[in-house]
Amino acid sequence: MFTSRSLRMALTSALLTLTGCPDSPGPQPVGTNPPVAYAGPDQVVRVGDRVQLHGTASDPDGDLTRIEWSWSGSPDPAIILHDAASLDPWFLPQLPGQYQLLLSAFDSRGAGYHDNDLVTITVLPITDCSAVTLASGQTIRASIAAGETDSFTFCAEAGSTVTIEVKSVEGSDMFVPRLVLLSPAGETLANVKAVPAGELGRATWVATVPDLPVSASGVFTILCSAGIFQTGFYDITLTVTQ
């Protein structure tokens, strides 16, 4: 037999079951706004200039989880983006042309909810002989990291003969340079892989473009590259004979 007190307790329990406890809120709603990415303004630079990017990424709901840079287009398939995990990466273009990078921002809902923004870097060739980095009769010592490419520029007149030598420095046995020579128009005039000079095991490596006649006048480009697991020091020497 129910008493009035037990009846009140039963009704209160049923009411709490139907309405839920006010001190125990249910699951919070997930934000419905996508993140926003901005890759920064387009830029115009010259070959060899350091390109510094300044991207931004945010989410109106405060649940930005990661950002990602990716190449959308580049005239140089070996180009390296440094500090790629940050919003401020940089790279050194060695070839003229348009370089395009995509910045993507993701929130907690994953790939289905993200934003992309594209930045274009126009890299102009060096056309002024006063701005070249290598002169005839000059030797420059340089260092190179694995997978990277260094560039040098020089001037020559049509009808002259060009000789280039790239030689790894003693102690840099693991660096086997590759030498590419480009005309003022960007055409490949030579593509040479180094060969050992001296006894194997303690050899230096030498890549040479010997006595190459050129038919155009202007600024030529030398590219010196290292393999993906190679690093070291090298000397590059240029001789231009009229």
Mean pLDDT (the chain, rounded): 83
The answer on pLDDT for 236 being more than 90 is yes
- Looking at residue 3, its pLDDT comes to 53
- The predicted model scores a pTM of 0.68
- Looking at residue 7, its pLDDT comes to 47
Q: Say which residues have a Cβ less than 8 Å from residue 180's Cβ, sequence separation at least 6.
A: 188, 190, 191, 192, 222, 223, 224, 225
The Cα–Cα gap between 105 and 36 comes to 7
Q: By the 8 A CB rule, do 115 and 105 touch? A: yes
Amino acid at 179: L
Residue 241: strand pairing partners? 161
| 19, containing H or E segment | helix 4-19
The answer on pLDDT for 198 being more than 60 is yes
Q: What is residue 218's three-state secondary structure?
A: strand
**pLDDT higher for 149 or 1?**
149
- Looking at residue 42, its pLDDT comes to 96
**Domain boundaries along the sequence of the chain:** 36-124, 129-241
What are the C-alpha distances in Å from 71 to residues 6, 82, 117, 118, 120? 73, 12, 12, 10, 10
The Cα–Cα gap between 242 and 156 comes to 8
The Cα–Cα gap between 188 and 132 comes to 19
The Cα–Cα gap between 53 and 65 comes to 20
Q: Where are the beta strands (DSSP E) in 61-138?
A: 64-73, 90-91, 97-107, 110-124
- Looking at residue 175, its pLDDT comes to 76
The answer on pLDDT for 242 being more than 90 is no
The Cα–Cα gap between 69 and 116 comes to 10
The Cα–Cα gap between 7 and 25 comes to 28
- CATH class, domain 129-241, is mainly beta
- Counting beta carbons within 10 angstroms of the beta carbon of residue 199, is it exposed (0 to 12), middle (13 to 18) or buried (19 or more)? exposed
The Cα–Cα gap between 196 and 202 comes to 9
Q: Which CATH number fits domain 36-124: 2.40.30.10, 1.20.200.10, 2.60.40.10, 3.30.565.10?
A: 2.60.40.10
How much is the average pLDDT of 88-111? Answer: 88
Residue 119: which pLDDT band, with cuts at 50, 70 and 90?
very high
- Looking at residue 2, its pLDDT comes to 46
